[in-house]
A and B are shown apart, each in its own frame.
Chain A
Amino acid sequence: MDPVTRVTGRAVPLDRSDVDTDQIIPARWMKRVERTGYAGGLFEKWRRDPGFVLNDPAYAGASILVSGPNFGCGSSREHAPWALRDYGFRAVVAPSFADIFRGNLPNSGLVPVQAAPDVVAALLAAVTADPATEITVDVAGRLVRCAAIGEAPFALDESAHHRLVHGLDEIDLTLARSDAIAAHERTRPPWMPTGRP
């Protein structure tokens, strides 16, 4: 995976709470077996409304999505980050995220930017008032910058930060610990069930 140290770009304001994964990418798109090609499904139903913010040409080409609390609630589908990424987003700013979704974002190279509610509110106001507003997400420094707010910190857990900034493959990291895994594996109780191919 390529390192992601910074995201700079214009942003789309999606001022709603509890944006769920069924809105981000409807389930029918999950019959596909590929990891790419989900841009058309992003917010598919909301995009049928001509007034929906993604249909506003002023926001075309934006790389940051700013939204409300509990973003990404619902299903564990990684198709949701894939759809955001395929559409062109590189970071999502929200006051809070659903746990599984927050964990999934960095695995697709996207940055979950969990900022204070007043910071998110100010960013929403700024990008709503002027779609040309630029936002910078400094991943390495865990800071979000914008003329409207100056600079504000955001939360990003240590392991996600490490992997994003260094572009590390988590499986490689873990395979390097195979001896420790094997040692633990030998303690798995004998009564625990197994599959039968």
Chain B
Amino acid sequence: MTTLADKVWDRHVIERGDADLLYIDMHLLHELTSPQAFEGLRLAGRPVRRPDLAVATADHNVPTGPDPLSLLDGLAARQLRIQQENCARHGIELHPLGSPGQGVVHVIGPELGLTQPGMTIVCGDSHTATLGAFGAVAFGIGTSQVEHVLATQTLRMPRPRTMAVTLRGTPRPGTSAKDLALAVIARIGTAGGTGALIEYRGDAIAALPMEGRMTVCNMAIESGARSGMIAPDDTTFGYLEGRERSPRGRLWERALDDWRTLRTDDAADFDREAVIDAAAIGPQASWGTNPGQTTGIDGTVPDPASFADPAERAAAERALAYMDIAPGTALRDIAVSTVFLGSCTNGRLTDLRAAAEVLRGRRVAPSVRALAVPGSTRVKRQAEEEGLDEVFRAAGFEWRSSGCSMCVGMNGDVVEPGAHSASTSNRNFESRQGPGARTHLVSPESAAASAVLGHLASAADLED
């Protein structure tokens, strides 16, 4: 009796050991964490074993204003040039800045159909966990491991422990996948998944479209897990069918036969389990400086004294000092001056649609700077075909081009020092969105509502 994670893992084990030698089916690359790996290969005189199993793009350091190429700073331009040289030298597919396939690496992989059930997928980026939504084993790796995969198409990894997070019931209307993801982290903690590969299951997960499943798996890393995973089903197959790199014809039928076997056996045991009542989850917002410091938007900021664990108490004290919020403050009383809609968590077309729906016929508060940043150039084009860009512009949002943008604060898009932001990204760490930035993690719908009202809010707050 085997779990989904173990089934996929076992298929890729070349040699068992304390750390298994694991074959890697797809290696995604971005500009930040790969140059030193290519340099290492060059110094050792090693070739890339399977350049055809790697795909690269530029996302972290790219500006998202009009004509991004002209806005690049010197260091970023050099990094992109080196990426182009490395990919050209080794024959690796690259979607550079300015090309129609460019985008946040975890967004373009699924778009192209590069992320399929039963695969092992790695990338020098922790949010590779996103791709586990397809029933793949997908995880982030360091630069030495990027070099190892380039040279050998394998990794040496200890087998992760298994963990099930089951979301039972039907979430309340107005609750998005992001709210589920945040509520899970608040419940199990930022180290609740350490050492494990989490399989998300239950009717609330099965009901999510692929985009929502990606949002949930994206944040697995925020609970300390190696990755997240969801068993593939008709929703998965429907998403993949007809994608550029998806199999066709007879191969598609063969793939489907195989993919349908990828589920946890009924009698399989997990090392750890958490069962969460999804019906009790409403819109969430983070109040502190790690994603576990989150509560319902109807709630108040907790008093650090209320935490029994001394480390948690000290962390809450530090967080509230950094955020400059008093214990007991209602979340809705926290004013925000910046709103960021985008990132690999919530930068897909459905996220933009959900936010646009809230914004239609409304205006961003005068005190707020709001950015809508598509997760990929393809998402941007699709959104424009639907007229979403007009909705955002009419509401007072900046409609920008694709990249990591304000999620990471290193490409020119930053939150002002000391300012509070409502952000659909995944990390509220100190200064993540720019030096001194105070981030509140929310869903796309809540980000839109917060932009209109100028304080943390959910979409329901706009309906009177």
Chain A residues with CB under 8 Å of chain B are 15-18, 20, 22-23, 26-28, 30-35, 45, 68-70, 73-79, 81, 96, 98-100, 103-104, 107-108, 157-159, 170-171, 173-175, 177-178, 180-181, 184-185, 188-197
Residue of A with least CB distance to B61: A31
A159 touches B55 (CB 8 A): no
Residue B18 at the A interface, CB < 8 A? Answer: yes
For B40, the chain A residues whose CB sits under 8 A away are 35
B148 touches A170 (CB 8 A): yes
Known: A33-B78, A33-B82. A174 touches B148 (CB 8 A): yes
Complexed CA–CA distance, A197 and B315 (Å):
47
Residue B14 at the A interface, CB < 8 A? Answer: yes
Residue of B with least CB distance to A23: B430
For B315, the chain A residues whose CB sits under 8 A away are 16-18
A171 touches B55 (CB 8 A): no
A31 touches B76 (CB 8 A): yes
Residue of A with least CB distance to B119: A192
For B26, the chain A residues whose CB sits under 8 A away are 192-193
| 27 residue pairs bridging A and B, Cβ less than 8 Å apart | A27-B410, A30-B410, A31-B32, A31-B75, A32-B75, A33-B82, A73-B191, A74-B427, A78-B36, A81-B142, A108-B144, A157-B19, A170-B156, A171-B44, A171-B148, A171-B151, A177-B15, A185-B23, A188-B23, A189-B255, A190-B251, A191-B254, A192-B119, A195-B51, A196-B93, A197-B87, A197-B94
Distance in Å from the Cβ of A29 to the closest Cβ of chain B? Answer: 9
Residue B46 at the A interface, CB < 8 A? Answer: yes
Q: Which of A15, A96, A171 contacts B191 (CB 8 A)?
A: A96
Distance in Å from the Cβ of B259 to the closest Cβ of chain A? Answer: 9
A-B CB proximity, top 7 nearest:
A158-B18, A107-B144, A191-B247, A195-B93, A193-B245, A104-B142, A78-B142
A193 touches B114 (CB 8 A): yes
Complexed CA–CA distance, A197 and B54 (Å):
9
Distance in Å from the Cβ of B340 to the closest Cβ of chain A? Answer: 15
B39 touches A33 (CB 8 A): yes
A159 touches B251 (CB 8 A): no
For B402, the chain A residues whose CB sits under 8 A away are none
B158 touches A157 (CB 8 A): yes
- Please indicate which of the listed interface residues B14, B44, B116, B251 has the most CB atoms of chain A within 10 Å of its own CB: B14
Complexed CA–CA distance, A75 and B254 (Å):
37
Complexed CA–CA distance, A76 and B408 (Å):
13
Known: A45-B431, A70-B190, A157-B18. A75 touches B125 (CB 8 A): yes
B141 touches A76 (CB 8 A): yes
CB proximity to A under 8 Å, residues B190-205: 190-191, 194-195
Complexed CA–CA distance, A3 and B231 (Å):
42
The interface size of chain B toward A, counting residues with CB under 8 Å, comes to 94
Distance in Å from the Cβ of A123 to the closest Cβ of chain B? Answer: 15
Complexed CA–CA distance, A66 and B275 (Å):
35
Q: Which of B53, B158, B247, B429 contacts A74 (CB 8 A)?
A: B429
For A100, the chain B residues whose CB sits under 8 A away are 126, 139-142, 221, 226
Distance in Å from the Cβ of A60 to the closest Cβ of chain B? Answer: 25
Distance in Å from the Cβ of B308 to the closest Cβ of chain A? Answer: 14
B255 touches A191 (CB 8 A): yes
Distance in Å from the Cβ of A92 to the closest Cβ of chain B? Answer: 15
Complexed CA–CA distance, A81 and B82 (Å):
23
Complexed CA–CA distance, A197 and B156 (Å):
27
For B142, the chain A residues whose CB sits under 8 A away are 76-78, 81, 100, 103-104, 107
Residue B124 at the A interface, CB < 8 A? Answer: yes
Residue B345 at the A interface, CB < 8 A? Answer: no
Residue B236 at the A interface, CB < 8 A? Answer: no
CB proximity to A under 8 Å, residues B1-25: 12, 14-15, 17-19, 21, 23, 25
Known: A33-B82, A69-B311, A76-B33. A104 touches B144 (CB 8 A): yes
A197 touches B190 (CB 8 A): no
B429 touches A107 (CB 8 A): no
Residue of A with least CB distance to B158: A157
Q: Encode B328-342 as 1/0 by CB contact (under 8 A) with A.
A: 000000000000000
Distance in Å from the Cβ of B209 to the closest Cβ of chain A? Answer: 21
For A16, the chain B residues whose CB sits under 8 A away are 314-315, 318
Distance in Å from the Cβ of B193 to the closest Cβ of chain A? Answer: 9
Distance in Å from the Cβ of A188 to the closest Cβ of chain B? Answer: 7
Complexed CA–CA distance, A28 and B116 (Å):
33
B61 touches A99 (CB 8 A): no
Distance in Å from the Cβ of B418 to the closest Cβ of chain A? Answer: 13
Distance in Å from the Cβ of B40 to the closest Cβ of chain A? Answer: 8
A31 touches B410 (CB 8 A): yes
For A194, the chain B residues whose CB sits under 8 A away are 52-53, 245
A177 touches B14 (CB 8 A): yes
- Please indicate which of the listed interface residues A18, A34, A108 has the most CB atoms of chain B within 10 Å of its own CB: A18
For A73, the chain B residues whose CB sits under 8 A away are 190-191, 224, 290
